[in-house]
Amino acid sequence: MNKSDLPESTDPQTNVAAKPVNPARRRLNKAALATPVIASLAARPALACSVSGFMSGNTSSGREDPRCDGYGCTPGFWKNNPEAWKSYSPGTCSHHNGGGMCQAWTSGGAKLSDILTCSNPFTQVGSNEYLLDIMLKAIGSGDSITTQYADVCHYIAAILNAAASEASYGSSVAEIQAGLCKAVTEGKVNYYTTVLLAGLNDRGCVFDAHGNCEKNFVAHSSGGCIPVCPSGKTYNPLTLTCESITTS
């Protein structure tokens, strides 16, 4: 038996790795959660659709959608679900409804300067602006991003995705920050944010509105979520796919 860092899980109805298109936003039963041991992501291959691929120079000159394996939540998801944020505070809830759901957020929490490691390339926003405030004014009720804010919103979403579940997103916060700095140096900020990061942010969300694992995902020991794999397969965070368990 190959010594996998992650346990086998099953999905008897589909017998394939589930990747929901329209998540039901339901809390996963904690009794069903597995806690696999996290594997190092350092050896992840440099793919053209990945931040590590961009850092290594393994990118295309075209503007094709850099979709690849893995999962990521859109800027609209993070704007609509501040309670799902990890590591970075969205601010403080100022009003709850009768069911305990937050209805309004005060200004506060993490600022753009908190997620930048080089100069601010987003001229439309200031470094001292709050992340949630930026997204609230940039993204409409239909989750469409105003064009002038697309680059900064996809960068914020990428940071939140990586902070919440590096195992399923496939890039760390430090990698995304370094990628932006490289893009600034090379004059590729628009490509990096609105093509590469936008593609990674639109692969399917692993969280519900409260930051719990969606249906067909289980908790990872890193604090994020990974997909349930079919019988005979296990999730490999290096390739971001369910792979067959082989015997030696």
Q: What is the pLDDT of residue 224?
A: 82
Span 117-142, mean pLDDT? 93
pTM: 0.74
| Structural domain total, the chain | 1
Q: Mind listing the pLDDT tens digit for each residue in 149-161? A: 999 999 999 999 9
Q: Mind listing the pLDDT tens digit for each residue in 6-62? A: 434 434 333 334 444 333 333 333 333 333 333 333 334 434 577 877 877 755 544
Task: Determine, yes or no, domain membership for 79.
Answer: yes
Contact 8, 229 (CB under 8 A): yes
Task: Determine, yes or no, domain membership for 52.
Answer: yes
* Choice between 248 and 9, residue whose per-residue pLDDT is larger: 248
Task: Determine, yes or no, domain membership for 217.
Answer: no
Task: Determine, yes or no, domain membership for 41.
Answer: no
Q: What is the pLDDT of residue 2?
A: 41
Tokens 């794999």 appear where?
229
Contact 228, 217 (CB under 8 A): yes
Task: Determine, yes or no, domain membership for 148.
Answer: yes
Task: Determine, yes or no, domain membership for 145.
Answer: yes
Could you give the 3-state DSSP secondary structure of residue 173? helix
Span 78-91, mean pLDDT? 92
Q: What is the pLDDT of residue 247?
A: 65
Question: Which residues form the domain of 193?
Answer: 47-211
Q: What is the pLDDT of residue 248?
A: 57
Q: Mind listing the pLDDT tens digit for each residue in 48-70? A: 577 877 877 755 544 444 557 88
Q: Which residues of 16-36 are buried (b: 16+ CB within 10 A; e: fewer)?
A: ebbeeeebeeeebeeeeeeeb
Q: What is the pLDDT of residue 202?
A: 93
Residue 4 predicted with pLDDT over 60: no
Tokens 């100069």 appear where?
119
Task: Determine, yes or no, domain membership for 174.
Answer: yes
Q: Mind listing the pLDDT tens digit for each residue in 200-247? A: 999 999 999 888 899 889 887 767 888 888 888 888 877 788 888 876
